[in-house]
Amino acid sequence: MLISMLIDSAAFSNACMCSCRAPCNMAMPTVSMIDASGMKFFSNSVCSSLIEPGVYRLNMGHEGDCFLVPGPVRMNQACLEAMSTPTITARGTEFRDVMARLNSGLRYAFNLTPSSSERKNQSWTGDDGYKVIVVSGSGTAAMEMVMANRFRHNDRVLVPTNGKFGERVAEMGSRFCNVKHLKYEWGRAFDFGEIEEQLARGNWEAVAICHNETSTGITQDATELAEMCQRHGVAFIIDGITSVGGLPVHPNEWGAEAVVVGAQKCTAGPSGIAAIAVNQHFIDRCTAIRNQDDSNPTYYLDILAALKKGDDDQTPWTPAINPAMGWAASLEYLKNEGLEQRWNRCALMAKGVRNLFTDLGFELLADEFFRSSTVTAIMYPDGIDDSWRTRLKDEYDTQVIGAQDHLKGKMFRVGSMGETTVSEMIEGCKRMISCFEDFGMEFSQVEVESYFE
């Protein structure tokens, strides 16, 4: 039985698909009636009415607010509408269809081999042997699932850090294994010589890192670390919450046992849902530890319970149904843009921000050759603090994010991830410059657009 539901499309009819709230003449999919299960909308609008490949808007003029934060990022219209459809049963074929599409989309975002998007057709795995697991929780929950299930209490895990979120990986890991925390100055690159020296001493189970450290705007050299891990026969675990979908990530090439992503960052999905890509060695080790009765206590985050449900396109516990529908829509949008194209767009915007602000006399926090393409950390000049951000938001309708811990009030961060357009970044930078001028700073005239070509 169909129950008709009227969706007022007026709120979306003149909104840009990229969610920047700019008026837009581009034709958008409209939906007036949907099935009570939500699947008629999901299949007809979300999966088939997205923009065509190759027409992704990058340089049209931007109006409205500028939301330049490193996550949670804005979600597009298709994602929002998918989440607003009537909920469906967690154990029916409709949700299995959602999970199959989501799994297939996640494999694309993780840069893994493709899989079918049809249910009951191994949507979660592919020729590379990796399997994707959807977690109804934040990226932190997904990372905890990895650490709690993969290691025994006495396993030695090396965790180098240079920012807040890497330190969180170390702190989290210490609950489940024997962590050695190599703590570097925030924004400084890892000392690879020291890491190599530590690994050469032997008896390590793994190296775990935060790949893209948004607190400091630095990206770790995962290729170098992967080669070290392979030389010394240790596992490589990656918190890729803010890199998967926005930066080049190569799980198979790196031999990573597990990589974590959060929906609300580079893939522009909703907060509160995450995923893990794991290889067969990871699964075998988790199984062996469980069979030896030497595992850490878990229940909700039991990864073996999740793995048992994968072939059925299901989850062990009640899933985040509507967020899953929204994330599947966002991943369809990512496919339309193209993964490498998104990497390139994020890199273009970050490079433009870096070059613009350094030319204006600002200092960047992160080491030059390790600066992130999804977030840029910029130091405030003397005499300016977070009151500038407040004015930027209130007077210029533009948001960037502040710093954390000991850098609070000394730095701001500009996000260039998700579906942020080049035009929005250009406009946002112009507003930032004007706001700094309100605080008494003087700049020579610059053509902001030229930095983003």
Tens-digit pLDDT profile for residues 385-399: 999 999 999 999 999
Average pLDDT, the chain: 89
Please state, as a whole number, how many other Cβ atoms lie within 10 Å of the Cβ of residue 97: 23
So where are the chain's domains? 94-334
The burial class, CB within 10 Å (0-12 / 13-18 / 19+), for 204 is: buried
Sheet (strand 274-278) strand order: 131-135, 274-278, 258-262, 235-239, 206-210, 156-161, 178-183
Closest to 255 measured CA to CA, from 221, 288, 279 = 279
Q: Retrieve residue 1's tokens.
A: 């039985």
CA distances from 320 to 16, 95, 299, 327, 424 (A): 27, 11, 17, 10, 31
Those residues with Cβ within 8 angstroms of residue 288's Cβ, 6 or more apart along the chain or in another chain = none
Measured N-to-C along each axis, helices 387-396 and 422-438 cross at an angle, to the nearest 10 degrees, of: 120
**pLDDT tens for each residue of 401-438:** 999 999 999 999 999 999 999 999 999 999 999 999 99
Quote the CA–CA distance of 105 and 102 in Å, as a whole number.
Answer: 5
pLDDT of 277 reads 99
pTM of the model: 0.87
pLDDT of 194 reads 98
Quote the CA–CA distance of 315 and 313 in Å, as a whole number.
Answer: 7
Quote the CA–CA distance of 114 and 331 in Å, as a whole number.
Answer: 13
**pLDDT tens for each residue of 147-206:** 999 999 999 999 999 999 999 999 999 999 999 999 999 999 999 999 999 999 989 999
CA distances from 231 to 47, 199, 227, 257 (A): 43, 9, 6, 15
Q: Report residue 450's pLDDT band, with 50, 70 and 90 as the boundaries.
A: very high
Closest to 272 measured CA to CA, from 427, 141, 149 = 141
Q: Report residue 63's pLDDT band, with 50, 70 and 90 as the boundaries.
A: confident
Q: Report residue 121's pLDDT band, with 50, 70 and 90 as the boundaries.
A: confident
The burial class, CB within 10 Å (0-12 / 13-18 / 19+), for 305 is: middle
Instruction: Name the residue with tokens 């129950």.
Output: 3
Sort strands 375-379 and 156-161 into parallel, antiparallel or unpaired.
Answer: unpaired
Q: Report residue 9's pLDDT band, with 50, 70 and 90 as the boundaries.
A: very low
| Topology of the domain covering 94-334 | Aspartate Aminotransferase; domain 2 (3.40.640)
pLDDT of 3 reads 33
Q: With beta carbons less than 8 A apart as the criterion, state whether 265 and 71 touch.
A: yes
* Higher pLDDT, residue 2 or 124: 124
Q: Retrieve residue 394's tokens.
A: 């209130």
Q: With beta carbons less than 8 A apart as the criterion, state whether 277 and 251 touch.
A: yes
Q: Report residue 31's pLDDT band, with 50, 70 and 90 as the boundaries.
A: very low
Lowest mean pLDDT among 20-34, 160-174, 282-296: 20-34
CA quadruple 240, 262, 77, 5: dihedral positive or negative? positive
pLDDT of 11 reads 38
Given a cut of 70, whether residue 18 has pLDDT beyond it is no
Please state, as a whole number, how many other Cβ atoms lie within 10 Å of the Cβ of residue 32: 10
pLDDT of 17 reads 41
Given a cut of 50, whether residue 29 has pLDDT beyond it is no
Closest to 190 measured CA to CA, from 148, 217, 159 = 159
**pLDDT tens for each residue of 218-269:** 999 999 999 999 999 999 999 999 999 999 999 999 999 999 999 999 999 9
* Higher pLDDT, residue 302 or 51: 302
Quote the CA–CA distance of 3 and 17 in Å, as a whole number.
Answer: 27
